[in-house]
Structure 1
Amino acid sequence: MENYTYNSLTLQLEGLNVPQDSAYLVFLFFIFAYLFIMFANVGIVVLVFADKNLHQPMYLLFCNLPFNDILGNSILVPRLLIDMLRPPSERLISYYECVVQAFTSHMFGTASLTVLMIMAFDRYVAICNPLRYAAIMTNKMVVKLTASAWGVALVLVGVLLSLTIRLNRCRAMIHSPYCDNASLFKLSCESVFINNVYGLTFTVILFTASIGSTVLTYTKITVVCLTSKSKSLNSKALQTCSTHLVVYLILMLTGMANIILHRFPQYTDYRKLCVILFHIVPGSLNPVIYGVQSKEVRKFLLKLFESKKMLPSC
């Protein structure tokens, strides 16, 4: 099929190589993970907008993460589940659907990092400039930060995919469980030098900016906490910053594992599983981590639980 296609509009996905005896277990794991991601992330967004006490910059900025998790997993997981029920020869996808899937996948990863960067800025202002926090983190600033996080991701990923869709294709096999930029430009028999250069530049800039801003922000926060004698400030810093750092480290570890495994072709099956977990793991853990750590969220859930508990007795 690969040797006799030219700009074919129908592509074939290789999918996951799951042993037959464990296929149903893997299928059930993914479907329950997807349902949990949808329930938890939609729930946390509804919770933030329903409770006026949560109408704070920290929670409003955090809502970008659940939205990103919902979007990224909705494009990937249902299609993956359907393909698991099909024989390999029937795992077909249109070229345009493949491009949309690749765009959404890269937007998920890029926006996750840019959103965490603006959340780090919010924590920096709250701890290092608490008296000016309300003046700096206005609703207008929240909108600007949100727009910048998504705008930067959109431009970076837009250029990435634009360089790929300009190429002619002479193959039709996607050697991955879902479509991404690398899988798409590997379909071409033309030179992909520009794609590789931009892809490497894209990754270096994104990771350098993300890691650099996070290290700088938390270094300044640490200095303020060490020099401050306020126990309430240190307690607040520990609670909010630890949550943000845990979410950030989960995303970075799953992302780096995916990048490293790309360099070892003998671990192709592990890489396929890792790229799926890159979507599922952060999407599952983000709402749980913030829900457990946030005092306001716990209070809201406790009040909701107590009100429901009182209804039957009434």
Structure 2
Amino acid sequence: MNHSSLDVTIIFTSYGSFRPLNYFFLILALIFYLLSVFSNVFLMLVIYVESSLHKPMYIFLFNFAVNGLIGSSTVWPKIMENLLADTHTMSFLACLVQIFWGYFYVTSAYTTLSVMAYDRYVSICKPLLYHTIMTPGRVKALLTAANIIPLFSIAILVYLTSRLPMCKYTINKLFCDNLTLVKLSCVKSVLVNLYGISTATILIGFPCLTVLLSYAKILNVCLKASKDAQKKALSTCSPHLITFINFSLASLFTVIYNRYSAFLPGEVNILLTVDTILIPPLLHPVIYGIRTQEIRKCFLKTVRKSERLFRMTF
């Protein structure tokens, strides 16, 4: 890392100075953050406890829930701290760490969604070969690739950014992102920009293409199947498809937000950030809990067990 950057402090200028409104946003963010943590942890607990859910589809979903925890915990605790503080700053190193985990959250979510789409494709289009294809070894390999590839790719991106000398220190946003940090540099780095575009293409573009191709094949099979088979396919695929669309819309909204946040008041920035970062990790476990029959049954079973245990204790 460029040693001159170690002492740099990043200043956020988008936090509103209207303190009563800041407290309102703080309470709102805290409620949504706690709900997000609870819903993801509870989904993970249900999948872990119930042996009937120890299948590739739910193993991938467990990983997706872990990813949701990483995403919401990367940004929101610091935002809530700044909403309470008189000064809104972050060290350069802490900013790089936030970028690393934030970008890992986004890219790992897309790679995991593509793996889940592949699982649904094999389940519906090649049902007789499903257990032959989706072996425990294959599931582990897919999970490893979905996490390790984004991990190392984003680590390289953050390392390249850390080498840039900083000449500016203010960001008109609520949190750090790589493009904004690169713009604070004294030099224009073609390497960082090219690597960032390549990484986004590989870790977001290709997974999106995988999801779209998988569902194109699933749709083709469903059109030739009976109504009962279509209904079953729809019930198993709809949670994943809704999650993919929701996450893609949130990601698109984030891109728009990154371009125009400099022209928005601090209070509007906070509301938009709630929609782009906090809502997806909260909404996704709820979607799977409502739309997936097996999870609903196991959820109710877990709740009943907890009630019985509570009554026995007290």
The answer to whether the superposition gives a TM-score over 0.5 is yes
| Matching of residue 302 in structure 1 with residue 303 in structure 2 | no
Question: Aligned partners of 1:16, 1:173: CA distance in 2, in Å?
Answer: 12
User: Secondary structure at 2:166's aligned position in 1?
Assistant: coil
Counterpart check, 1:290 vs 2:292: no
Counterpart secondary structure, 2:11: strand
Q: Is the 8 A contact 1:37 1:70 kept in 2?
A: yes
Which runs of 5 or more residues in structure 1 are unaligned?
Answer: 1-5
SS in 2 for 1:12: strand
Q: Is the 8 A contact 1:254 1:274 kept in 2?
A: no
Map of 2:243 onto structure 1: 247
Contact kept? 1:117, 1:213, Cα under 8 Å: yes
Separation in 2 of the partners of 1:263 and 1:308? 47
The residue correspondences of 1:68-79 to structure 2 (distance < 5 A) are: 68-79=67-78
Query: Are 2:229 and 1:200 equivalent residues in the alignment?
Result: no
Q: Which range moved further: 106-115 or 296-305?
A: 296-305
Q: Distance in 2 between matches of 1:308 and 1:165?
A: 48
Residues 140-179 of structure 1 aligned to structure 2 (within 5 Å): 140-179=137-176
Shift of 1:210: 2.5
Give the Cα–Cα distance (whole angstroms) in 1 for the partners of residues 173 and 125 of structure 2: 45
Tell me whether 1:107 sits opposite 2:104 in the alignment: yes
| One-letter code aligned to 1:234 | Q
Asked if structure 2 preserves the Cα contact closer than 8 Å seen for 1:13 and 1:92, the reply is yes
SS at match of 1:191: coil
1:23 corresponding residue in structure 2? 22
After TM superposition, give the deviation of residue 309 of structure 1 in Å. Answer: 5.3
**CA shift for structure 1 position 122:** 0.4
Q: Deviations over 1:177-206 (max 9, x none)?
A: 112212222221112232223223333343
Q: What's 1:256 paired with?
A: 252
Q: Mean Cα displacement is larger for which, 58-67 or 290-299?
A: 290-299
CA contact (8 A) 1:16 1:273 kept: no
Question: 1:160 & 1:131 partners in 2: Cα distance?
Answer: 42
Determine the structure 2 residue equivalent to 1:84. Answer: 83
SS of 1:63's equivalent? helix
| Cα distance in 2 for residues equivalent to 1:103 and 1:154 | 8
Distance, in Å, in 2 between the alignment partners of 1:237 and 1:48 is 21
The SS at the match of 1:225 is helix
Normalised by the size of structure 1, how large is the TM-score?
0.90
Whole-angstrom distance in 2 between the partners of 1:105 and 1:308 = 34
For residue 219 of structure 2, what is the aligned residue in structure 1? 222
Match of 1:97 among 87, 94, 98: 94
SS in 2 for 1:154: helix
What letter corresponds to residue 255 of structure 1 in structure 2? S
Please list the CA deviations of residues 7-32 of structure 1 after superposition, one character each: whole Å capped at 9, or x if unmatched. 33333233433744432221111001
Worse-superposed segment, 70-79 or 124-133: 70-79
The 8 Å contact of residues 14 and 176 in structure 1, kept in 2 or not, is answered as yes
Q: Which moved more, 1:261-270 or 1:221-230?
A: 261-270
- Any gaps of 5 or more consecutive residues in structure 2? none
Alignment of 1:39 with 2:38, yes or no, is yes
Closer, same or farther in 2 for the Cα pair 1:152/1:18, shift >3 Å? farther
Within 1, Cα distance between the matches of 2:216 and 2:282? 28
Shift of 1:159: 2.4
**Counterpart Cα distance in 2 of 1:212 and 1:70:** 25
Could you tell me which residue of structure 2 aligns to residue 55 of structure 1?
54
More displaced stretch, 110-119 vs 271-280:
271-280
Runs (4+) of structure 1 exceeding 4 A deviation are: 268-273, 307-314
Scaled by the length of structure 2, what TM-score is found?
0.90
Root-mean-square deviation (Å): 2.2
The equivalent of 1:3 in structure 2 is: none
SS in 2 for 1:93: strand
Q: Distance in 2 between matches of 1:211 and 1:78?
A: 30
1:42/1:310 CA distance change after superposition, 3 Å: closer
Distance 1:28 1:18, change over 3 A: farther
Aligned to 1:234: 230
How many residues are treated as equivalent by the alignment?
A: 306
Counterpart amino acid of 2:143? T
